[in-house]
Amino acid sequence: MPRPREFDEHRVLDAAADCFWSHGYEGTSTRQLTQAMALPPASLYNAFGDKRALFRRALDHYLEQTLHDRVRRLEAMADPALAVTRFFVEIIDRSVADPGARGCFLVNSALEAGPRDPAMRAVVDDEIRVIETFFHGRLARAGAAGSIPLEPAPAQAAAMLTAVLLGIRVLARLGPGRDRLSAAVAPVLTLLGLPPLPAAEETRP
């Protein structure tokens, strides 16, 4: 009978995700991971396998708490056009609130994977398609309801929004501040007939 784990899996995956997010896959050492996760190497490998397997678990953990949770919440909004704008509001808020200017763990992984790692590129592409599918679904509903123009077509508009999103997540690594990130998003929302971003003071709790 296997022994129960003597650690909080949620906590240790949070710690692993923070390490990989901050330093990248190649830049994160096993020593950094064991220190951050407060696990001896043997426990780490017994629980999660090798470094690559841990990275995948940490990325999945991060995505479930961020992207997947956001998509579920915003798909439940009654106003599909506002849901798209709200997606960008939350991304900008999250970027500005990160003192380490780490950008997005998923996007960082895409940049690091490159052509040498087709398996990781496939994982990243699948998750980016989740984002594009969310945009496509909200835009199609909003267009059908007459709340946004029917042109460009939802597929084209979703691709445009996805490209803007990826761009601002890379830009966020430079720590540009809310105004610059908002300036990159606002014209595209206007072009597509979507609700504008709220004034900066309206986003504060």
Written as six digits, the tokens of 35 are 């220190």
> Can you name the CATH fold of 77-203?
Tetracycline Repressor; domain 2 (1.10.357)
Does the structure show a pLDDT above 60 at 12? Answer: yes
Q: What does pLDDT average to over the chain? A: 90
| pTM exceeds 0.75 | yes
Fold category of 7-58 in CATH:
Arc Repressor Mutant, subunit A (1.10.10)
pLDDT of residue 4: 46
pLDDT given at position 120: 83
What's the pLDDT score for residue 148?
A: 97
Q: What's the rounded Cα separation, in Å, for the pair 200 and 205?
A: 11
How many Å apart are CA 124 and CA 56, to the nearest integer? Answer: 11
- Does the pLDDT of residue 177 top 70, yes or no? yes
Query: For the range 150-159, what are the long-range contacts, defined as Cβ-Cβ under 8 Å and sequence gap of 24 or more?
Result: 152/192, 157/192, 158/132, 158/133, 159/132
Q: What is the per-residue pLDDT across 79-122, written as a single tens digit (0 to 9) for each?
A: 999 999 999 999 999 999 998 899 999 988 888 877 777 888 88
